[in-house]
């Protein structure tokens, strides 16, 4: 895809700090400087978001994410990871599906859960609307 920095990284046209790569996905250190130990896991095949990501690429991202998360805990001394993703058009900054991984340690002071406004409808109404038949 033209004008996609993640596609440029996958093609080797833009350098990255590679953590691990498979046939279908790649994990690298984010250049965003908001937090230490911020990694991105990206499918090699371009997909704007999870809605148009093919099943094999989605599985590859999940598998690579888990593999790197296990490495962060077992080999790097972290206590766990937070996974974040934005696929809503208004919030997405790079329109190539990706998962953010934040390596976490107890007491690191990170608050990665957004402040949300609270329910506007009942729990049962929410459930009725989203359950699959």
Q: Which one of the listed residues 38, 98, 100, 106 is annotated catalytic? A: 98
Q: Compute the distance between CA of residue 129 and CA of residue 123 in angstroms, rounded to an integer.
A: 10
Q: b/e per residue, 37-55, with b = 16+ CB within 10 A?
A: bbbbbbbbbbbbbeeebee
Which residues lie below 8 Å from residue 5, measured CB to CB, with a gap of 6+? 14, 94, 96
90-111: pLDDT as tens digits: 666 788 999 999 999 999 999 8
Q: In the annotation, is 98 catalytic?
A: yes
What is the value of pTM for the model shown? 0.90
List the domain range (segments joined by +) for residue 97: 5-130
- Residue 24 sits in a domain whose CATH number is 3.30.428.10
Q: Compute the distance between CA of residue 35 and CA of residue 72 in angstroms, rounded to an integer.
A: 16
Structural domain total, the chain = 1
| Residue 116, pLDDT score | 85
Is residue 82 scored above 90 in pLDDT?
yes
17-68: pLDDT as tens digits: 999 999 999 999 999 888 999 999 999 999 999 999 999 999 999 999 999 9
């Amino acid at each position: 895809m033209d004008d996609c920095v993640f596609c440029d990284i996958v093609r080797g046209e833009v350098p990255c700090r590679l953590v691990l790569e498979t046939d279908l996905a790649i994990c690298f250190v984010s250049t965003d400087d908001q937090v230490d130990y911020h990694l991105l896991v990206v499918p090699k095949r371009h997909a704007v978001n999870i809605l148009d990501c093919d099943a094999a690429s989605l599985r590859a991202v999940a598998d690579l994410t888990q593999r790197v998360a296990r490495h962060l805990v077992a080999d790097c001394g972290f206590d766990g990871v937070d996974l974040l993703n934005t696929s809503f058009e208004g919030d997405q900054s790079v329109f190539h599906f990706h998962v953010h991984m934040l390596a976490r340690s107890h007491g690191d002071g990170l608050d990665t859960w957004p402040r949300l406004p609270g329910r506007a409808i009942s729990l049962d109404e929410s459930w009725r609307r989203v359950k699959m038949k």
